[in-house]
Amino acid sequence: MSLIPVTILTGFLGSGKTTLLNRILKEQHGQRIAVIENEFGEAGIDNELLVQDRDEQIVEMNNGCICCTVRGDLVRILGELHDKREAGTLTFDRVIIETTGLADPAPVAQTFFVDDEIGQRYLLDAIVTLVDAKHAMAQLDEHHEAQEQVGFADRILISKSDLVSVEEFRALEQRLKRMNVRAPITAAHFGQAPIEDLLDIRGFNLTAILEIEPDFLTDVSHEHDDDVTSFVFRADRPFDDQRLEDFLGAILQVYGPKLMRYKGVISVAGADERIVLQGVHMLMGTDRASPWKKGEARDSRIVFIGKEMPKDVILEGLEQCLVPANKAAAKPKRV
């Protein structure tokens, strides 16, 4: 019986994993894909950013890192997906696991070798790692997870290369080659990468991994940056566009280095579509997404991930950016 191929899509916070995943889902490759999403914190955002007009099965895993506290959930979800496939209630050809940006991919990859049932049903095809050209040098200096993501990669894609000079790109490329001599390295602008370089490449080589990390199959311990935290802002009133832009601009000027990642789907007064907010440190952008459906609750959720973040300042400031409530409107909820 043929094994179901699995691709682990990893990369540090804000490297462009969801953009690449959307690119794969939109590609006319003729395959049905089951997607397992893992996010850091209790509120999922990436699931709403993925294309929803095809037959993909998308499963969210929140409130934990896929490489530790919720790995049991990963085994359970993979088992459930396989059972549904066998029963004919769900059709898919392959699985893509998008890890949180704070995940060490090694324990995720371990799952396919140390769990007998998973190993008999699934084949780990490759670990594909996204690297943010603008912020990678600092991330690799400061975060063990970023180093592990590069070290275990079977393919390395460098995003945001347009934001750095040719010299900076070459310096990063050389550093990545020193860290991982096995993985081909290419640039990927807004997720544009040849599909044949990402799927069915049979890139994961257990023998090669054991050469660089002999304890791969037995060592389940790994480190995390304990000072990295997250919080969520929620509101059921729309934002005033100009107030929000001014506030976020001011916050980034002062606290940008502490904001490792922030992303959200928000409601803006006068806009019929969802607005997607994304940012890494000082780089922030917005884009229009799918229209709100008739009768649908137009609520907003923004997730912040970082170190020593001024949580109260940000929450209070965002609240002031909302359109004033009328007598019937509920107050925004804060977490």
Regarding whether 191 and 247 lie in a shared domain, the answer is: no
CB 32 within 8 A of CB 58: no
Confidence of residue 53 (pLDDT cuts 50, 70, 90): very low
Regarding whether 243 and 193 lie in a shared domain, the answer is: no
312: CATH: 3.30.1220.10
Do the domain assignments include residue 328?
Answer: no
- Per-residue confidence (pLDDT) for residue 73, from 0 to 100: 75
Do the domain assignments include residue 160?
Answer: yes
Regarding whether 182 and 236 lie in a shared domain, the answer is: no
- Per-residue confidence (pLDDT) for residue 221, from 0 to 100: 54
Q: Helix 144-151 vs helix 105-114: angle between axes, to the nearest 10 degrees? A: 50
* Domain stop point among 212, 246, 268: 212
Regarding whether 35 and 144 lie in a shared domain, the answer is: yes
pLDDT at 243 over 90: yes
Identify the bridge partners of residue 285 per DSSP, sorted by sequence position.
278
Identify the bridge partners of residue 124 per DSSP, sorted by sequence position.
6
Regarding whether 290 and 153 lie in a shared domain, the answer is: no
Do the domain assignments include residue 68?
Answer: yes
CA distance 103 to 15: 13
Catalogue the E-assigned strands of the chain: 4-11, 33-38, 57-61, 94-98, 122-132, 155-159, 185-187, 228-235, 259-266, 273-280, 283-291, 300-307
pTM for this structure?
0.74
Tally Cβ neighbours within 10 Å of residue 280.
Answer: 25
The percentage of residues in the chain with a pLDDT greater than 70, rounded to a whole number, is 82
Do the domain assignments include residue 330?
Answer: no
For the chain, the domain total comes to 2
Regarding whether 257 and 128 lie in a shared domain, the answer is: no
Regarding whether 206 and 131 lie in a shared domain, the answer is: yes
> Which of 107-111, 200-204, 216-220, 248-252 ranks highest by mean pLDDT?
248-252
C-alpha to C-alpha distances, 33 to 94, 127, 269, 328, nearest whole angstrom = 5, 16, 36, 43
The three-class DSSP label of residue 13 is: coil
pLDDT digits (tens, 9 = 90+) for 282-294: 888 888 888 988 8
Regarding whether 122 and 192 lie in a shared domain, the answer is: yes
Domain boundaries, position 82: 4-212
* Domain stop point among 158, 178, 212: 212
Regarding whether 239 and 207 lie in a shared domain, the answer is: no
CB 46 within 8 A of CB 40: no
Structure tokens at 252: 């980034």
* Domain stop point among 163, 181, 212: 212
Regarding whether 316 and 195 lie in a shared domain, the answer is: no
CB 299 within 8 A of CB 234: yes
Regarding whether 202 and 110 lie in a shared domain, the answer is: yes
58: CATH: 3.40.50.300
